[in-house]
Amino acid sequence: MIFTKTVLEEVFIVEPEPKVDHRGYFTRIYCQNKFDDIGFPIVQINQSRSILKGTIRGPHLQNPPHSEKKLIQCIKGSIFDVAIDIRKNSKTFGKWVGNKLSEDNRKMVYIPEGIMHGFQTLEDDTVIQYPVSSFYAPNSVVGIRWDDPYFKITWPISKVIVSDVDKAWPKYQL
């Protein structure tokens, strides 16, 4: 597995190293000893299917004591994956990074605690899967609007589909 730093502290692109032959490929998507340095115990694995291209989910995260780390992977279709640093003591506070994840490129994004996460589907019928380090705690979930003027995220598709819950998130407050 290849870990590549992004512009955000502690956010990595993780690229599996598939073993390819005439049958296809085999690859690891998680190996505990590769994640030991960042302490990523998996307690739950989530899967999300979005039917239509342009669907935005998030951005959101879980607050302490239910903060979670995530390893995002697109297993069908493709997404524009966004990580937003809202950790006030971070050198990269207020910045965001976007990456294309697809079933073809097999790239993953590691999201540490304190980083908001969201994505937009780039194709119809897209599926992501992601292990997390903390159980889902709905009362700990917070988010921001997908079009928040503070972060100015550049989503690749202008015609968006957003849930009522994600539409209702407030603008970011410093």
For the stretch 8-55, pLDDT in tens is: 999 999 999 999 999 999 999 898 888 888 889 999 999 999 999 999
Rounded CA-CA distance 47/138 in Å is 16
pLDDT in tens, 80-122: 999 999 999 999 999 999 999 999 999 999 999 999 999 999 9
Multiple choice CATH, 2-167, 3.40.630.30, 1.10.287.40, 2.60.120.10, 1.10.3720.10:
2.60.120.10
- Taking the C-alpha atoms of residue 125 and residue 145, their distance in angstroms, rounded to an integer, is 23
Query: Which of the residues are catalytic?
Result: 60, 130
Kindly write down the DSSP assignment for every residue of 136-167, as one continuous string: --GGGEEE--TT-TTT----S-SS-EE-HHHH
Give me the residue spans of the domains in the chain: 2-167
Q: For 43-86, what is each residue's pLDDT tens digit? A: 999 999 999 999 999 999 999 999 999 999 999 999 999 999 99
